[in-house]
Amino acid sequence: MQQFLKFSIPEAASEIGSQSVIGFLEYLAIQRGGAPGTQSLALNAISFYFKNVLEREIGDISQFVRARPREKLPIILTRDEVSTVLTELSGVRWLVVSLLYGAGLRIMEAIRLRVQDIDFGYSQIIIRDAKGNKERVVPLPSKSIQAMKDHLCGVKEQHMDDLEQGFGRVYMPQGLVKKYGSSANQWVWQYVFPSLKLSVDPRSNIVRRHHINESTIQKCVRDLSRKLEINKRVTCHTFRHSYATHLLERGMDRFLLLQNRHTLHPCR
**CATH number of the CATH domain containing 23:** 1.10.150.130
Look at residue 256 in the predicted model and tell me its pLDDT. Answer: 52
Is 84 within a domain? yes
Look at residue 204 in the predicted model and tell me its pLDDT. Answer: 84
The Cα–Cα gap between 106 and 236 comes to 8
Is 22 within a domain? yes
Look at residue 210 in the predicted model and tell me its pLDDT. Answer: 94
Q: Residue 88 pLDDT > 80, yes or no?
A: yes
Does residue 188 share a domain with residue 95? yes
Range of the domain at 225: 79-259
Is 48 within a domain? yes
Is 61 within a domain? no
Does residue 122 share a domain with residue 11? no
Is 74 within a domain? no
Query: Looking at the DSSP assignment, which residues form a beta bridge with residue 139?
Result: 124
Compute φ and ψ for 208, nearest 5 degrees: -130, 170
Look at residue 257 in the predicted model and tell me its pLDDT. Answer: 54
Does residue 198 share a domain with residue 117? yes
Is 63 within a domain? no
Look at residue 265 in the predicted model and tell me its pLDDT. Answer: 39
Is 19 within a domain? yes
Domains of the chain: total: 2
3 state SS for the chain? CHHHHHHCCCCCHHHCCHHHHHHHHHHHHHHCCCCHHHHHHHHHHHHHHHHHHHCCCCCCCCCCCCCCCCCCCCCCCCHHHHHHHHHHCCHHHHHHHHHHHHCCCCHHHHHCCEHHHEECCCCEEEECCCCCCCCEEEECCHHHHHHHHHHHHHHHHHHHHHHHCCCCCCCCCHHHHHHHHHHCCCHHHCECCECCCCEECCCCCCEECCECCHHHHHHHHHHHHHHCCCCCCCCHHHHHHHHHHHHHHCCCCHHHHHHCCCCCCCCC
Look at residue 266 in the predicted model and tell me its pLDDT. Answer: 38
Does residue 41 share a domain with residue 85? no
Does residue 146 share a domain with residue 22? no
Is 264 within a domain? no
Does residue 153 share a domain with residue 25? no
Does residue 165 share a domain with residue 44? no
**CATH number of the CATH domain containing 213:** 1.10.443.10
pTM across the whole model: 0.73
Does residue 251 share a domain with residue 122? yes
Does residue 195 share a domain with residue 145? yes
Does residue 244 share a domain with residue 173? yes
